[in-house]
Structure formats: structure tokens, C-alpha cells
Chain A
Amino acid sequence: AAGVIQSPRHLIKEKRETATLKCYPIPRHDTVYWYQQGPGQDPQFLISFYEKMQSDKGSIPDRFSAQQFSDYHSELNMSSLELGDSALYFCASSLGGRDPRYNEQFFGPGTRLTVL
């Protein structure tokens, strides 16, 4: 079965640079979520999209933005990178994001971002 695809898997950037992370959700899933996970931490919700429209915002810094395109893939754009942005970034998708009976999330393998 198709899974959530994320690219790149690893990314190294310098401070103040920009980064773009990509996510390809499972086909026919209507909701995409972005999470940030620091070492030993739980996934922190950043932002989500329902049917290509931004639906919820969590602890996403103003330096970050995201969008979902007509083909349902999503991109997380990060600017003015700081050392503290080093983390694993997960994308997840769900089918029936608005229905509490069916909104289980399927996570991608993550992008490990290191800011030097």
C-alpha cells in the first residue's frame, strides 16, 4: 500500500538560510498535517490542510509557511533558519480528517533538518 512520502530525508542548512520540505500524502487522503519533533520530544503540531485549504495552525513560527497544491502534495517553507529549528519534521495524512471516527494519521518517514 502507498505510504506518505517525504523529501528530502536529510537536510543540512546554515543559520539564516531557507529550506523547503515536501510531502506527498496517501492518495485520496483529504487532510495533511505537519509536525516538528525535537530529540526525546513528542510531535508538536505545526499546521494542517483539509482539502487543500489551511484548516488549523499550531505552534508554527511566523518564519515558516506551508501550502497544499492542486495535486495534494504539500510543502513546508522555512526561512531565516535558527539552530533551534534542528529537528525531525513529519508529515502525516488522514482520510476523513473531520470525522473523529476516521482521522487516524499515517506518518511519513520524516525529514531530519540540521541547522549549523
Chain B
Amino acid sequence: GQQVMQIPQYQHVQEGEDFTTYCNSSTTLSNIQWYKQRPGGHPVFLIQLVKSGEVKKQKRLTFQFGEAKKNSSLHITATQTTDVGTYFCAGPSRGSYIPTFGRGTSLIVHP
């Protein structure tokens, strides 16, 4: 079955440093979605990328979808303590409507 891998599993940064998490799927994806889950909270939808090579920005967050639609990345510039949480990528393989979640990357920001 489809597998979605995310690295790193954990990332400690000092406030103000940049952060990147990478997502790789074993199959071609119809789209890639990114979610953020704060400790004790629920996943919150951040963004969805659909087109090959697509890049989208949300303030300090930059999302990329690979040309082959099998990988994606999330980059945060100048992290803040409010960025703390686990970032999940999720994507359905072609022919499916159900996104498979990656294991997530937990971001810890030290003030």
C-alpha cells in the first residue's frame, strides 16, 4: 500500500532559526495537504497543493510540491514559539480519495 514518510521526526530550533520538513510518498499523489497539530489539539488544515512543481507561501511558511508529485516540503522562516506543533503532510494516491498521513514532524522552538 501507499506509504508517506516524513523527516525529521523531531526538530529542535532556537527562535528565529529556519525549519524544514520533508515528505515523500511511495506513490504519485493527486494532491498534497499540510496540517498542523498543536499539543493536545486537533489537526488544522494549512494548505493544499495540486499542481506539479507548485509553490505556495503563507507569510513565513513556504510549501512546495515536487515535479513528480511524490514529494513535498514545508519551510518556515524565522521560527516563532507559536510555530510549535506537529506538522503532518497527507496525500491521496491517484485513484484514491483518502489521504494517507505521514508520521509528522514535531517542531520544538526554544525561546
Contacts and interface: CB of A to CB of B under 8 A. Distances in A.
Interface of A: 31, 33, 41-45, 48, 50, 55-56, 58, 90, 92, 97-98, 100-101, 103-110
Given A43-B43, A90-B42, A105 B101 contact: no
Contacts of B43: 43, 90, 92, 105, 107
Interface string B84-107: 000010001000111111111000
Given A42-B101, A58-B98, A109-B42, A104 B50 contact: no
Given A48-B98, A55-B97, A101 B31 contact: yes
Contacts of B103: 41-42
Contact of B97 (A103, A107, A108): A103
B48 interface: yes
Contact of A100 (B92, B102, B104): B92
B42 A45 contact: no
Nearest to B4: A42
B48 A104 contact: yes
A43 B101 contact: yes
Interface string B7-51: 000000000000000000000001101010000011111001010
